[in-house]
């Protein structure tokens, strides 16, 4: 359905844009029909940048993003509008997604004005109410209200309902849970899972491992713009291979067991090397191998639907093949 | 008994009347205890913390008393409180990364702050450096501006500063919520280390993330809509909660190991009441599946087992009599 092929994003930073900041480096993955893929990373890992490139809010510096066999950077005019009919995003802060001086259901009217000008008011009203019921809201209770009269969870579901009014096939959900309270976040997660079973594909961007595990079939672990590990969710969480993924798993707070004593490097050991592995300066294993410092390891398959970018497994794989 | 809070009631004064943000809070914290304080947004957890440190308009003390080490704290007298603030009761504020003065180097800012409390900065430098080592910060941060530090580093600078005078009570307000999981773990463990080394006698850790509390807290206090719901040792709250709200809250938490396809979690239906004119009696009544007539009266916060306090008529065995 959607394929990201060798996509990079370089921002120009500093006075006069003199320095280059690589936010996303040569990232490739795909999202299949009716599948939820989690994009997991800490702040600065480039996860939101990837979401924005898919939504064409910013252009990719190199590489292509292909949606249903069409390179999305070539879309213009009516074709681009058609793209937005199928691909929509929902973002982290539901409160700032609305204009506070208008009623919240204005977002539905804007969709009609833009995409469905031929549909009559009563038929449109019916569609809006169906979409609201699909996201678990009671139309009578939530229509005609201002954003401040609705809770964060309700506003977030409003935005998902807005996406459903279009013929949406692909949803970019960028940290949509993180601003919600514990008692409502599960409801929004379950809603995404229900939509998935109706055939929607979702790119679920999160920093929270437990949320990613709960909802997704496949997971992509990002660090400083590079994919370090990706594959089936059970494999990533069950047998994490990359030292970074293992550190993440060990430091995620859990309710079933206490933290183990693992060393976490808060300070980088060495200066960042431009050429080597992005995790080199924090990696407890990196000292052993000169290649970690000088070459960036490629993603290699270590198992069925399990890829890792680490020198240790690159060697193991080479030995196995040789 | 380090901290003893009796019937503390704090309202916010607004033009439309009092917002009853904290109603009749009675609890105590022992020496060396780390108490987690959890609840949904708007449940009064930050109001409770702020009233222990800086109770200023629009907050208004309605009734109640706070004792620290047997001494009554003049919490509603901002000027007299300044003798206690920072030296006896200290706080690591929410968004500590924005708590530093951007126009001063970190060391200069600390010197000014200590000077305002009549403490000689030069004499504290050896201890300060020892504590910077403990939180894995280089001594160079004292000569740096806050903008030169990362979010996690600023957080640790504030942690060191807040505890420099060895306060009896330290309040940590949502200090881990803006951090990456690896930094989050390190910061949380440093808090425990501060307690173990005797820098602080007891700690209140406020967060909405109960899984963090499970890792570091000795006891957990759950609040709902301005009332205390339950306080118990950490394991009891997680494994055998007795208040209906705590039960639903714990059951709604996604964690690594729980998949949507295998075990569907559910949220808590309904919303918390508005505190401008809250319903009489138990404020969880309207969302509670076991509520009955008696719940129209506010339930007392009763110690059912040693160290396990619950405010629920059902758990008091009232339904048997009724």
ipTM of this complex? 0.77
For residue A4, being part of any structural domain is answered with no
For residue A10, being part of any structural domain is answered with no
pLDDT digits (tens, 9 = 90+) for B116-169: 888 899 999 999 999 999 888 889 999 999 988 888 888 889 999 999 999 999
Domain boundary among A211, A238, A265: A238
Q: Are strands A201-206 and A36-40 parallel, antiparallel or unpaired?
A: parallel
A243 and A120 both lie in a single domain: no
Q: For CA atoms A65, A70, A73, A79, give the dihedral sign.
A: negative
A206 and A231 both lie in a single domain: yes
A75 and A206 both lie in a single domain: yes
Closest to B255 (Cβ–Cβ): which among A183, A210, A266?
A210
A199 and A272 both lie in a single domain: no
Domains identified in chain A, total number: 2
Tokens 């993955």, located at residue: A29
Closest to A255 (Cβ–Cβ): which among B151, B255, B259?
B255
Cis status of the peptide bond prior to B58, with omega within 30 of 0: yes
A201 and A317 both lie in a single domain: no
For residue A22, being part of any structural domain is answered with no
A247 and A171 both lie in a single domain: no
- How many Cβ pairs within 8 Å bridge chains A and B? 116
Domain boundary among A206, A238, A270: A238
Cβ of A264 and B215 within 8 Å? no
Interface test with A, best of B216, B240, B257, B264 (most A CBs within 10 A): B257
A178 and A188 both lie in a single domain: yes
Interface test with B, best of A210, A233, A266, A279 (most B CBs within 10 A): A266
Tell me the nearest-neighbour CA distance from A130 into chain B, angstroms: 20
**Residue B171 gets which letter from DSSP?**
E
For residue A26, being part of any structural domain is answered with no
pLDDT digits (tens, 9 = 90+) for B69-116: 999 999 988 889 988 999 999 999 877 778 889 999 999 999 999 998
A76 and A96 both lie in a single domain: yes
Q: Does B79 touch chain A (CB under 8 A)?
A: no
For residue A152, being part of any structural domain is answered with yes
Cβ of A258 and B266 within 8 Å? no
- Residue B231: band (very low, low, confident or very high) from pLDDT cuts 50, 70, 90: very high
Cβ of B211 and A254 within 8 Å? yes
What is the CB neighbour count within 10 angstroms for residue B224? 25
Q: Does A261 touch chain B (CB under 8 A)?
A: no
Angle between helices A152-165 and A106-115 (to 10 degrees): 10
For residue A8, being part of any structural domain is answered with no
Longest dimension (CA), chain B: 68
A231 and A249 both lie in a single domain: no
pLDDT at B186: 87
Cβ of B264 and A211 within 8 Å? no
**pLDDT mean across residues, chain B:** 89
For residue A60, being part of any structural domain is answered with no
User: What are the chain B neighbours of A182 within 8 Å (beta carbons)?
Assistant: 40, 208, 210, 249, 252-253
User: What are the chain A neighbours of B185 within 8 Å (beta carbons)?
Assistant: 251, 253, 259, 264
For residue A138, being part of any structural domain is answered with yes
Q: Is the pLDDT at B55 greater than 50, yes or no?
A: yes
Name the nearest CA neighbour of A310 among A263, A234, A237, A245: A245
Q: Does B252 touch chain A (CB under 8 A)?
A: yes
A176 and A301 both lie in a single domain: no
A234 and A251 both lie in a single domain: no
Tell me the nearest-neighbour CA distance from A22 into chain B, angstroms: 18
Tokens of B166: 């060895």
Contact status, residue B44 vs residue B51, Cβ threshold 8 Å: no
What chain B residue is nearest to A188 in terms of C-alpha separation? B267
A249 and A291 both lie in a single domain: yes
pLDDT digits (tens, 9 = 90+) for B164-221: 999 999 999 888 877 788 888 888 989 999 999 999 999 999 988 888 899 999 999 9
Tokens 């990002």, located at residue: A222
- Residue B238: band (very low, low, confident or very high) from pLDDT cuts 50, 70, 90: very high
Q: Does B276 touch chain A (CB under 8 A)?
A: no
Q: Which pTM value belongs to this model? A: 0.84
Closest to B252 (Cβ–Cβ): which among A186, A207, A215?
A186
Q: Does B260 touch chain A (CB under 8 A)?
A: yes
**Residue B136 gets which letter from DSSP?**
T
What's A204's domain CATH number? 3.40.50.300
Query: Which helix (H) or strand (E) covers residue B20, if one does?
Result: strand B17-29
User: What are the chain B neighbours of A237 within 8 Å (beta carbons)?
Assistant: 256
User: What are the chain A neighbours of B214 within 8 Å (beta carbons)?
Assistant: 253-255, 258
| Residue stretches of chain A with pLDDT short of 70 | 261-274, 286-289, 315-322
Contact status, residue A53 vs residue A65, Cβ threshold 8 Å: yes
Domain range for A164? 31-51+70-219+227-238
């Amino acid at each position: 359905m959607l394929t990201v092929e060798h996509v990079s994003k370089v921002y120009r930073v500093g006075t006069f844009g003199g320095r280059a900041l690589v936010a996303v480096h040569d990232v490739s993955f795909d999202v299949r029909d009716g599948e939820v893929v989690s994009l997991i990373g800490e702040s600065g890992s480039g996860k939101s940048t990837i979401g924005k490139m898919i939504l064409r809010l910013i252009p990719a510096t190199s590489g292509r993003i292909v949606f249903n066999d069409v390179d999305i950077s070539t879309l213009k005019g009516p074709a681009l509008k058609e793209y937005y009919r199928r691909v929509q995003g929902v973002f982290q802060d539901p409160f700032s997604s609305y204009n506070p001086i208008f009623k919240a259901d204005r977002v539905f009217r804007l969709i009609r004005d833009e995409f469905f000008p031929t549909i009559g008011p009563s038929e449109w009203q019916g569609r809006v109410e169906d979409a609201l019921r699909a996201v678990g809201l009671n139309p009578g209770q939530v229509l005609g209200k201002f954003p401040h009269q609705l809770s964060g969870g309700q506003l977030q579901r409003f935005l998902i309902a807005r996406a459903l009014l279009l013929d949406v096939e692909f949803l970019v959900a960028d940290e949509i849970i993180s601003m919600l309270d514990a008692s409502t976040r599960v409801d929004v997660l379950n809603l995404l899972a229900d939509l998935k079973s109706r055939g929607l594909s979702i790119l679920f961007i999160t920093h929270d491992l437990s949320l990613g595990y709960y909802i997704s079939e496949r997971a992509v672990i990002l660090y400083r713009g590079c994919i370090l590990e990706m594959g089936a969710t059970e494999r990533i969480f069950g047998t994490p291979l990359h030292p970074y993924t293992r550190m993440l798993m060990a430091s995620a707070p859990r309710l079933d067991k206490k933290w183990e004593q693992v060393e976490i490097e808060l300070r980088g050991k060495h200066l960042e090397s431009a050429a080597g592995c992005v995790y080199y300066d924090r990696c407890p294993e990196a000292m052993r191998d000169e290649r970690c410092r000088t070459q960036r390891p490629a993603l290699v398959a270590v198992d069925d639907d399990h890829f890792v970018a680490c020198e240790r497994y690159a060697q193991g794989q080479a030995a196995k093949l040789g | 008994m380090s901290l003893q809070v009796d019937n503390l009631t704090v309202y916010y004064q607004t033009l439309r009347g009092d917002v009853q943000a904290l109603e009749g809070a009675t609890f105590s914290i022992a020496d060396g205890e780390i108490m987690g304080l959890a609840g949904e947004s708007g449940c009064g957890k930050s109001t409770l913390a702020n009233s222990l440190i800086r109770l200023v308009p629009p907050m208004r003390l309605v009734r109640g008393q706070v004792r620290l080490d047997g001494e009554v704290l003049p919490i509603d007298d901002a000027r007299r409180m300044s003798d206690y603030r920072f030296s006896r009761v200290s706080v690591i504020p929410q968004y500590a990364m924005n708590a530093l003065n951007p126009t001063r180097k970190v060391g200069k800012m600390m010197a000014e702050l200590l000077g305002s409390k009549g403490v000689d900065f030069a004499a504290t430098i050896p201890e300060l450096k020892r504590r910077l080592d403990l939180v894995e910060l280089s001594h160079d941060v004292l000569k740096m501006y806050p903008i030169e530090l990362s979010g996690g580093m600023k957080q640790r600078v504030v942690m060191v500063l807040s505890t420099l005078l060895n306060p009896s009570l330290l309040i940590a307000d949502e200090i881990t919520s803006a951090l990456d999981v690896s930094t989050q773990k390190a910061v949380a463990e440093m808090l425990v280390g501060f307690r173990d080394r005797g820098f602080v006698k007891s700690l209140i850790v406020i967060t909405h993330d109960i899984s963090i509390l499970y890792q570091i807290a000795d006891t957990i206090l759950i609040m709902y809509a301005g009332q205390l719901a339950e306080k118990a040792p950490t394991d009891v709250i997680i494994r055998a909660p007795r208040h209906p709200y705590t039960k639903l809250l714990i059951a709604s938490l996604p964690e690594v190991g729980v998949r949507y396809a295998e075990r569907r979690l559910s949220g808590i239906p309904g919303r918390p009441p508005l505190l401008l004119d809250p319903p009489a009696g138990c404020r969880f009544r309207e969302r509670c599946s076991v509520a009955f007539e008696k719940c129209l009266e506010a339930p007392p916060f009763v110690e059912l087992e040693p160290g396990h306090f619950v405010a629920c008529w059902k758990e008091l065995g009232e339904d048997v009599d009724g």
